[in-house]
Structure formats: C-alpha cells, structure tokens
Amino acid sequence: MKSIINIKSRSRTEFIDITEEVAKAIAGSPVKDGLCSLFVPHTTAGITINEGADPSVKEDILKSLNKLIPFQGDYQHQEGNSAAHIKSTLTGVSLSLIIEEGRPILGTWQSIYFCEYDGPRHRKVIVKIT
Ligand code: ZN
C-alpha cells in the first residue's frame, strides 16, 4: 500500500514534524505488523528522526547544519543551492520504521521530521507499507 504525504514548507530551511501523518497512514492500512518505508523524492530535502518533545532541539540541529554548510560558499553548482544538496545527503532521503500492532515503533522522545533545505516549496513524502 502506497500513499503520499503532501507538505508545504514556509521557510528556506525548516524541520516539519510528520509523525502524526505517518501514524495515520499506518493506521489506515491493513498491515498490523510490518515495515513502513518513507521516501523523499527531492534532492534538496531530507528526512530524519530526532527529539520532538523540546522544539528547540530541531532548531539547534538546523542552526548547526546551516553553520556547518553555509548558503554561500566555494560551490560549483550553477543553480546556487549546493548547500541544500549537501544537507540532503547528510540527513538522507529515506527512513524505515517497524510497525507493531498497527503503530510505528518510536522512542518516547522521537518524532519524524521532513527536512526542508531549499524552501519554501510544495514537497511530498512517499509512504510504502508492507
Ligand atoms: Zn541544485
């Protein structure tokens, strides 16, 4: 079963919590025990899991990524968004979650984040449940 989560980012770089949308997609599928693959079909975005309880954690991660990989630099790519491509490679574009009793296994403090690195844009995350 495949579904799509549509996302509208509002900033140039931003972490968007999609935990609820993923849980809904899993709950709406007949699979109670299995795997949920999440895939981001973009070259300037990513996906990651990290703390969702304290929103300052995602801001610290984003701030550090932006410091580590500045928007302007000695880049060759003519489009001018090399920083976004590099950040996408660092966080990756896919995740795999274990489904148990119709829900994704996540640690108490974990949330799933779509990572925007070249927004604002319309984006999507492909969800495949097996
Ligand atoms: Zn580019």
CATH code for the domain defined by 2-129: 2.60.120.460
Which pLDDT tens digit goes with each residue over 83-127? 999 999 999 999 999 999 999 999 999 999 999 999 999 999 999
pTM of the model: 0.96
Which pLDDT tens digit goes with each residue over 12-21? 999 999 999 9
Give me ligand 1 centre to Cα 42, in Å. 10
Residue 38 pairs with which residues in a beta bridge?
A: 95, 127
- SS3 call for 98: strand
Tell which residue, 41, 29, 27, 12, has the closest CA to residue 116: 12
* pLDDT in the model for residue 1: 87
Q: How many CA atoms lie within 13 A of 10 on its CB side?
A: 1
Which pLDDT tens digit goes with each residue over 38-59? 999 999 999 999 999 999 999 9
Give me ligand 1 centre to Cα 45, in Å. 11
Tell which residue, 5, 8, 4, has the closest CA to residue 119: 8
